[in-house]
Structure formats: C-alpha cells, structure tokens
Amino acid sequence: DAKTTQPNSMESNEEEPVHLPCNHSTISGTDYIHWYRQLPSQGPEYVIHGLTSNVNNRMASLAIAEDRKSSTLILHRATLRDAAVYYCILRPGGTSYGKLTFGQGTILTVHP
C-alpha cells in the first residue's frame, strides 16, 4: 500500500493560515487523498478528500500537486479548536474496504 510522510509537528498562531504538507510519492492513479484530524481524547473526524483537483469545504482546503505526489491541507484561519493531530491518508479506489493506514500524523499546536 502507498504510504504518506508528514512532519511530526507544526505550530501556528491563532487566526493565521496553516499549511500542513503531506508527501505520497508512491500514490497510484486510483488512490484518493484523505485528511482526518483527531482532537484530544476524541475519535478521528473527516476533514476533506480529493483525487486530482483542489477541493474546498467549510473546514479546509486541499491543494493537490499536479503530479499527485504531494498535497497540502490548508486551514485558512487557525483557531484554538484546530489544535489536533492531522492525518493524511491514501484511500485506494476499488474494493479495498476500510484499509486505511494511519501514520503518526502531524501534531498541530495553535498559540493564542
């Protein structure tokens, strides 16, 4: 299975944009790029996903490199509630049910 590489930790100030990078150089043509986050003492929650084109939703934006070997999760204005572990995950297309491989993710610290 293709793997992802993320920085162990990042820091940001409140109300500033945050760019969380993810490398996935062995991504296959049918892999979707998913981002989840896990707030302290909670289960992971879905943030955003994409295949080839950049995506926006109410939580964040996802910028996907043209060669799809990297992506960046963008939080436009970080808040204290965005402090969490962010996981970048490749989800195979087809019938690879549930075989999401969660790495250690990026711990995001947001300073007031």
Give contact residues for another protein (rule: CB under 8 A): 30-32, 34, 36, 41-46, 49, 51, 87, 91-105
Cα 13 from Cα 31, distance rounded (Å): 33
* Least distance CB 90 / another protein (angstroms): 9
* Least distance CB 20 / another protein (angstroms): 15
Question: Can you read off the two tokens belonging to residue 89?
Answer: 């995950």
DSSP 8-state assignment for residue 68: S
* Least distance CB 69 / another protein (angstroms): 17
Toward another protein, which CB reaches closer, 29 or 112? 29
Toward another protein, which CB reaches closer, 15 or 45? 45
Toward another protein, which CB reaches closer, 27 or 78? 27
Cα 98 from Cα 12, distance rounded (Å): 32
Sign of CA dihedral 112, 108, 63, 59: negative
* Least distance CB 43 / another protein (angstroms): 3
Toward another protein, which CB reaches closer, 14 or 49? 49
Pairing of strands 45-50, 9-13: unpaired
Cα 112 from Cα 12, distance rounded (Å): 9
